[in-house]
Amino acid sequence: MLLITGIVLVPAGLVMLWVAWASRRDRLRPNSAVGVRTRLTMECDLAWFAAQRAAASATAIGGVGALLGGIGAIVMAVVESNRPGFSFPFAMATWTLLALGAAGWSLAWTLTGVGRGSRAAEAVCTEQSGCS
Ligand SMILES: [Zn+2]
């Protein structure tokens, strides 16, 4: 289970870091999969890019957490496979902490990014800027 968790978390973290990098540089175009996707950001390009830029740092922090949690899970899996004396409860406790911790961390920062992004979108998308 530790190995599976690590194998899921590491690519998830790398994807989040890539999204953060692309968001910061206006490289992430409106799409149906990733980014801050609200009614406003999907309707308005100005709001979309402002939202992605505002969300980028939170997405990066979440991605680093997923990546470190994933690497930690893989390391623990290797350690436990080399040390059969490790007790089952201890293994389950480390797995649960790593999985829940890293998943919760990246989810919390993703939601933080969505919050920051949608506020930035509302701020930039006004009648004065010629937006609907
Ligand atoms: Zn707009």
**pLDDT mean over 12-33:** 96
pLDDT given at position 132: 61
Look at 132 and 69; give whichever has higher pLDDT: 69
C-alpha 88 to ligand 1 mean position (Å): 55
**pLDDT above 80 for 85:** no
The number of distinct structural domains making up the chain is 1
Residue 31 lies in a domain: no
pTM to 2 decimals?
0.88
Residue 12 lies in a domain: yes
Residues around ion ligand 1, judged by CB within 5 A, are 44, 46-47, 125, 131
**pLDDT mean over 17-30:** 97
Q: Percent of the chain at pLDDT above 90?
A: 66
Burial of 30 (0-12, 13-18, 19+ CB in 10 A): middle
C-alpha 6 to ligand 1 mean position (Å): 40
Give the sign of the dihedral formed by CA 9, CA 12, CA 18, CA 23: negative
Q: Which of 45-49, 94-98, 124-128 has the highest mean pLDDT?
A: 45-49
Query: CB neighbours (10 Å) of residue 46?
Result: 16
C-alpha 43 to ligand 1 mean position (Å): 7
C-alpha 125 to ligand 1 mean position (Å): 4
Full residue range of the structural domain in which residue 62 is found: 2-26+46-124
